[in-house]
C-alpha cells in the first residue's frame, strides 16, 4: 500500500503584500501529479489546511478542487484533519458531500466519521472517536488511521474537565491512542497515526516553531507531545505543524513532519520543501522517502553593505521573495530604495541597519531591534511617525487586532 503524506498547506496565506495563491495552485498541482505518477492509494493531509478560520473564497475553491482531483472520483482515499489554524467545524461541514468522493474530514480529536462505502470499493469499515478503518479499492489489507487533529485543552475540554495541565493532555492522548490501538490495530492491517501538534523525543531541545505558530500553539497551554506516547502497533506517524521536513524519532516507528509545500515565513529561508511517500505492509517496518517539490518561490534573507552589490545579487535571483538588510552609515535615501525595488519584483522588506547613530540628527532614530516584542516596536514606530506615544485607547485597539490575528 502506498500513501502520500503532506501538511500545512495554509491556503490563503499571504506574505505581507504578496499573495501566494498562484504558487499554492502550482504546488498543489505538482502534489496531484506526484500522487498520480506514484499511483498512491491514499493521501494524508495533517492539518493547517487553511491559514485562517475564515479563508478567502479563492483559497476554499482551490482546496476543494485539489481534494476532488486527488480523490479520483472515489478511487483514492483522501483524509484531511484540522490544524490550529483551521476552524474544526468548518473543516467538517461538507462531510456528507465529501464522503461521496472518498474524502474524509476530521475536525476534533474526538470526531467520529460515519461509516460508508462507495461503488469504487473504497469504504470506511470501522469507526470510533479519533479512529477509522478503511478498505482501499486496490488493496486487500485494511488501513487503520488514528486521527488526532490539533488538540489543545480548549478543543479537548469535553474530555479534560477542570484538570487542564500539560501532563494531563499528554496522558489523555496517550490513553486514547493506546485504547484505540489495542482495540483495532493488529498485524493484519497497516496502522498509521495522523496528527497536528508539536511532537518531540522526550528530553530533546524545544526549538523554535515557525513564525506565526508559537503564540497560537501556546494559547490554552497545549504543549509538546512525546514520541514515547505513540503505541507500538503504529507503523508511521504523519505529522503536521512544523514547516520544515524532519524526522523526530525512529521509535517506535518513523515520526515525520512532511513540512509545508511552500516557505511561508523568512524563518524558513532557503528551505527545500517535500511530500513524503510511504510504502507500508502489515506487520513490517514502512519504507518512506521524501519527494522534493519544485514549484513556488524561494524565500531568501540577505544582508549587504553596498547598494550596487545588492542590486547585482537581486538581478541574479529572480522569482524569489526577499528580505533585505542594508547596512548603511545613516539612512537609506529614496533613490537607493528605488534602485533596489527596480531591480526585483519580490522584495518583501528592506531593513536598514544603521551603523552610525551619532550622525543622525533625529534623536528618535536608532537601529531597529527586531527581537523586541511587537507592542514595543509599535510604540516606537508610532512615536517616530507622530512625535508622541500612542494613547491607551489606540494601544488597546492594537492588542485587540493582534489577538484576533492569533486565533
3-state secondary structure the chain: CEEEEECCCCECCEECCEECHHHHHHHHHHHHHHHHHCCCCEEEECCCCECCCCCCHHHHHHHHHHHHHHHHHHCCEEEEECCCCCCHHHHHCCHHHHHCCCEEEECCCCCCCCCEECCCCCEEEEEECCEEEEECCCCCCCEEEEEECCCCCCCCHHHHCCCCCHHHHHHHHHHHHHHHHHHHCCCCCEEEEEEECCEECCCCCCCCCCCCCHHHHCHHHCCCEEHHHCCCCCCEEEEECCCCCEEEECCCCCEEECCCCCCCCHHHCCCCCEEEEEECCCCCCCEEEEEECCCCCEEEEEEECCHHHHHHHHHHCCCEEEEEEEEECCCCCHHHHHHHHHHCCCEEEEEEEECCHHHCCCCCCCCCCCCCCHHHHHHHHHHHHHCCCCCHHHHHHHHHHHHHHHC
Cα 256 to Cα 199: distance, rounded to the nearest angstrom: 9
Pick the closer one to Mn ion by CB: 12 or 83.
83
| Beta carbon of residue 151, minimum distance to Mn ion (angstroms, whole number) | 12
Pick the closer one to Mn ion by CB: 32 or 82.
82
| Beta carbon of residue 49, minimum distance to Mn ion (angstroms, whole number) | 10
| Beta carbon of residue 194, minimum distance to Mn ion (angstroms, whole number) | 14
| Beta carbon of residue 153, minimum distance to Mn ion (angstroms, whole number) | 16
| Beta carbon of residue 242, minimum distance to Mn ion (angstroms, whole number) | 8
Cα 397 to Cα 377: distance, rounded to the nearest angstrom: 15
Pick the closer one to Mn ion by CB: 84 or 258.
84
Cα 121 to Cα 266: distance, rounded to the nearest angstrom: 44
Pick the closer one to Mn ion by CB: 20 or 69.
20
| Beta carbon of residue 405, minimum distance to Mn ion (angstroms, whole number) | 14
Do the beta carbons of residue 257 and residue 239 sit within 8 Å? Answer: yes
| Beta carbon of residue 10, minimum distance to Mn ion (angstroms, whole number) | 8
| Beta carbon of residue 80, minimum distance to Mn ion (angstroms, whole number) | 14
| Beta carbon of residue 303, minimum distance to Mn ion (angstroms, whole number) | 29
Pick the closer one to Mn ion by CB: 48 or 323.
48
| Beta carbon of residue 15, minimum distance to Mn ion (angstroms, whole number) | 17
Q: Which residues contact 11 (CB under 8 A, 6 or more apart)?
A: 24, 49, 50, 51, 55, 59, 60, 62, 63
Residues that bind Mn ion (CB under 5 A): 48, 83-84, 241
Pick the closer one to Mn ion by CB: 181 or 256.
256
Pick the closer one to Mn ion by CB: 181 or 193.
193
Pick the closer one to Mn ion by CB: 13 or 241.
241
Do the beta carbons of residue 248 and residue 256 sit within 8 Å? Answer: yes
Amino acid at each position: 500500500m502506498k500513501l502520500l503524506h503532506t501538511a500545512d498547506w495554509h491556503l490563503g496565506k499571504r506574505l505581507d503584500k504578496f499573495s501566494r495563491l498562484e504558487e499554492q495552485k502550482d504546488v498543489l498541482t505538482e502534489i496531484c501529479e506526484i500522487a498520480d505518477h506514484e499511483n498512491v492509494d491514499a493521501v494524508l493531509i495533517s492539518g493547517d489546511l487553511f491559514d485562517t478560520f475564515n479563508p478567502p473564497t479563492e483559497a476554499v475553491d482551490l482546496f476543494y478542487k485539489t481534494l476532488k482531483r486527488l480523490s479520483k472520483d472515489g478511487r483514492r482515499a483522501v483524509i484531511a484533519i484540522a490544524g490550529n489554524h483551521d476552524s474544526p467545524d468548518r473543516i467538517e461541514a461538507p462531510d456528507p458531500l465529501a464522503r461521496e468522493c472518498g474524502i474524509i474530514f476530521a475536525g476534533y480529536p474526538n470526531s467520529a466519521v460515519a461509516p460508508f462505502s462507495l461503488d469504487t470499493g473504497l469504504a470506511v469499515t470501522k469507526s470510533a472517536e479519533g479512529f477509522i478503518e478503511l478498505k482501499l479499492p486496490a488493496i486487500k489489507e485494511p488501513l487503520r488511521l488514528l486521527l488526532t487533529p490539533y488538540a489543545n485543552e480548549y478543543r479537548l475540554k469535553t474530555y479534560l474537565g477542570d484538570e487542564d495541565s500539560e501532563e494531563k493532555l499528554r496522558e489523555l492522548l496517550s490513553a486514547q491512542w493506546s485504547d484505540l490501538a489495542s482495540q483495532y490495530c493488529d498485524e493484519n492491517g497497516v496502522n498509521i497515526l495522523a496528527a497536528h501538534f508539536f511532537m518531540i523525543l522526550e528530553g530533546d531541545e524545544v526549538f523554535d516553531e515557525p513564525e506565526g505558530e508559537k503564540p497560537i500553539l501556546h494559547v490554552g497551554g497545549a504543549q509538546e507531545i512525546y514520541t514515547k506516547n505513540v503505541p507500538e502497533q503504529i507503523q508511521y506517524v504523519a505529522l503536521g505543524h512544523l514547516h520544515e521536513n524532519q524526522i523526530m524519532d525512529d521509535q517506535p516507528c518513523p515520526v515525520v513532519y512532511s513540512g509545508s509545500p511552500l516557505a511561508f515565513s523568512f524563518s524558513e529561508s532557503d528551505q527545500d520543501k517535500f511530500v513524503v511517500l510511504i510504502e507500508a505492509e502489515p506487520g513490517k517496518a514502512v519504507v518512506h522517502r521524501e519527494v522534493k517539490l519544485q514549484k513556488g518561490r524561494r524565500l531568501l534573507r540577505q544582508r549587504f553593505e553596498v547598494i550596487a552589490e545588492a542590486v547585482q545579487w537581486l538581478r541574479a535571483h529572480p522569482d524569489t521573495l526577499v528580505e533585505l538588510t542594508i547596512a548603511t552609515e545613516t539612512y537609506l535615501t529614496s533613490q537607493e530604495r528605488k534602485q533596489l525595488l527596480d531591480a526585483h519584483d519580490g522584495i518583501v522588506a528592506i531593513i536598514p541597519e544603521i551603523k552610525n547613530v551619532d550622525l543622525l540628527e533625529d534623536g528618535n532614530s536608532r537601529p531597529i531591534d527586531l527581537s523586541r516584542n511587537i507592542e514595543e516596536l509599535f510604540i516606537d514606530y508610532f512615536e517616530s511617525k507622530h512625535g508622541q506615544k500612542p494613547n491607551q485607547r489606540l494601544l488597546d485597539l492594537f492588542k485587540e487586532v493582534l489577538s484576533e490575528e492569533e486565533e
